[in-house]
Chain A
Amino acid sequence: MNALLPSPATIAALVKIGLLIGGLMTAAAYLVLVERWMAAWVQDRKGPNRVGIPLTKIRLFGLGQPLADGLKIILKEDFTPKHVDKVLYNAAPLLILATSLAIFAAIPFGSVLPPLGIPGLPDPVPFLVAPSLDVGVLWVFALSSITVYSVLLGGWASNNKYGFLGGLRSSAQLVAYEIPLGLGLLGVVLAAGSLRLDVIMSAQAQSGVWYVFAQPLGFIVFLVAAFAEAARLPFDLPEAEQELVGGYHTEYSGIKLLLFLVAEFLHMVTASFLIVIMFLGGWHFWGLTGAGDEVTWAGALIRFGVLSAKIFAVILFFMLVRWSWPRFRFDQLMNLAWKVMLPLGLANLVTVATIEEFRPQLVAALGAGPAKWLAIAAPWAVFFIGWIAAGLLTPSGTDNRPIRAHDPFDIEHELSGA
């Protein structure tokens, strides 16, 4: 083979990258529209429904809106304030978008294609840009930590109080929630025995028990931490509009702001991917997709469709939660992370580790069937115990009553030195 030509594996990777980035950017644009629709519908409005095909009267329920939104923000003046650190100010949005997209190198977006029979291309072809990466989960977590770094950079380089506060909050929040996120994830990694996300999916498909059923506590911990990690309501403190104007991107405008906003949507998409892949069975659905590596073209499409549908459902859940719950106060956020989610995550991890350690003995003593049910029942028991304990033990009530020890306008009282 000619050494100058790229190998089939390289071409396949490039095709996948093209499809993935194209799909993700389009999805991000349309998710903005979906978000606006959800916001409107929840508030009994109709939402954007007028922009259709330009220069015609065709409206298409407002499906042209992303184009209009995108053009508007791109054509806006990209203003750089005088007081910013120019290098970091420009680097932050680029870094956040690049890392948000690079995360998807290790995230499978389907199952596998049927064998193509192209020489030099290992069959079957997986729906994954970097199929030979054995530490996929670590890659995802390392890069999602770097996105925090660019939020910090953006806030710091803006040289603005609100931006700086947003960056500070972001760093504290993400440090706090990386731990429950990791604990939720560790249970899954222990049970599947692999750090590869595609293996985690097929492990769930083969056993038929999604990890949301086998590890309910881990799922809750991971879900809450994923909301915090994506900085979505009720954990959107880094950019709380009512308090911080725009948070870390207060000083950004035009296309740089667009990069930040797209990256935020990609965070939500990443979080949905992880939730679906690790806890909701990925491409698996009982009686619809099969479980093995042998697929037909139709089977590959069905698996892709099932995965996409699950991810879309999780994204809709993200958006619905945004209008259901008010934002946490910062101390409540920290309490929840350190006093509730961390112990619950540890409890889940210990349960899963114990079950996995003694599974061979269990199967030997009880037989395969009862052992399987026990391995599901025990985590649920831990889930309810942990839930009730967390509810009863943590000081979830807040004392917001006014202090009325004495009258604040009572000058005589103050003067008498009491």
Chain B
Amino acid sequence: MKPTDPAVTWLEEKPLGLAERLYLPLFVQGLATTARHLVSPKVTVSYPEQRPTVGNPLIYRGVHRLNRDDEGRVKCVACFLCATACPAHCIDIVATESPWPDREKYPEAFQIDELRCIFCGMCEEACPVDAIELTSLLDLTGKSREEMIFDKEKLLSVYDMTKDAEPMKSAQYKEELSPGHGAGGAA
């Protein structure tokens, strides 16, 4: 669009008023603002002693976990949709034939390189069976690169660790979208 386009509305700067021309009133106003912030409550979180609060765990993207189904088996069906969706190529799945009758495949190995992961949440979006989820764990540390490659057992243990504080998101979404109507509404 050109600057001369008639559709462009040009706003004129307002001429300075008396208070603005006299400088000091506005100066005092600015000083009052900073003085107010000087004594106002601080937003800093003293991290190691004080945990930051996660606003909404449903949309927070922290460490991954692999969910278990009702029988304690891994929910994943090794469809590779998450690995395909991953823009950082940090998911590595080895699929094999499932020992259980309800699915054809299951992951023999499931590795996520947490150092390559950019925590975009695409894997969670892509998963058709809500097996991979991002928790609200935010302090992810390790002493070596190898330690930061999470395998299937590690990811399942993250689920075991967080399942009480954070139930599976699929269940929560359904509850939120159709309260009182059970599981059917969300699908």
Counting CB contacts under 8 A, is A38 at the interface?
yes
Give the distance in Å from the alpha carbon of A407 to the alpha carbon of B135 in the complex.
Answer: 53
Counting CB contacts under 8 A, is B38 at the interface?
yes
The segment from A39-47, A201-209, A236-244, A299-307 that touches chain B is: A39-47
Give the distance in Å from the alpha carbon of A43 to the alpha carbon of B43 in the complex.
Answer: 9
Counting CB contacts under 8 A, is A406 at the interface?
yes
Give the distance in Å from the alpha carbon of A326 to the alpha carbon of B176 in the complex.
Answer: 48
Contact: B34 with A44, CB < 8 Å? Answer: no
Label chain B's interface by main secondary structure: loop
Give the distance in Å from the alpha carbon of A100 to the alpha carbon of B62 in the complex.
Answer: 53
Contact: A44 with B3, CB < 8 Å? Answer: no
Which of A324, A387, A407 is the most central at the interface, judged by chain B CB atoms within 10 Å of its CB?
A324
Contact: A44 with B4, CB < 8 Å? Answer: no
Contact: B44 with A42, CB < 8 Å? Answer: no
Contact: A38 with B24, CB < 8 Å? Answer: no
Residues in A102-149 with C-beta less than 8 Å from chain B: none
Counting CB contacts under 8 A, is A378 at the interface?
no
Give the distance in Å from the alpha carbon of A324 to the alpha carbon of B23 in the complex.
Answer: 13
Smallest Cβ-Cβ distance to A46: which chain B residue: B44
Smallest Cβ-Cβ distance to B8: which chain A residue: A404
Residues in B92-114 with C-beta less than 8 Å from chain A: none
Counting CB contacts under 8 A, is B143 at the interface?
no
Contact: B46 with A42, CB < 8 Å? Answer: no
Interface size range of chain A in the complex: 20 to 34
Contact: B4 with A41, CB < 8 Å? Answer: no
Contact: A324 with B4, CB < 8 Å? Answer: no
Q: How far apart are B35's CB and chain A's nearest CB, in angstroms?
A: 7
Smallest Cβ-Cβ distance to B13: which chain A residue: A401
- 1/0 contact trace for A377-418 toward B, CB 8 Å? 000000000011001100011011110101111100000000
Contact: A38 with B30, CB < 8 Å? Answer: no
Contact: B43 with A45, CB < 8 Å? Answer: yes
Q: How far apart are B76's CB and chain A's nearest CB, in angstroms?
A: 43
Give the distance in Å from the alpha carbon of A193 to the alpha carbon of B28 in the complex.
Answer: 34
The segment from B14-22, B80-88, B145-153, B166-174 that touches chain A is: B14-22
Q: A325-B30, A397-B15 are in contact. Are A402 and B3 (CB under 8 A)?
A: yes
Counting CB contacts under 8 A, is A371 at the interface?
no
Sample of 14 A–B contacts (CB below 8 Å): A42-B34, A44-B44, A46-B44, A323-B34, A396-B20, A396-B23, A397-B21, A401-B13, A404-B3, A404-B10, A407-B4, A408-B3, A409-B2, A410-B2
Which A residues have a C-beta under 8 Å from some C-beta of B?
A: 38, 41-46, 320-321, 323-325, 387-388, 391-392, 396-397, 399-402, 404, 406-410
Identify 14 new A-B residue pairs, CB closer than 8 A, beyond the known A45-B44, A387-B24, A396-B16: A41-B37, A41-B42, A42-B38, A44-B41, A44-B43, A45-B43, A320-B35, A324-B30, A324-B33, A325-B27, A388-B22, A391-B22, A404-B10, A410-B2
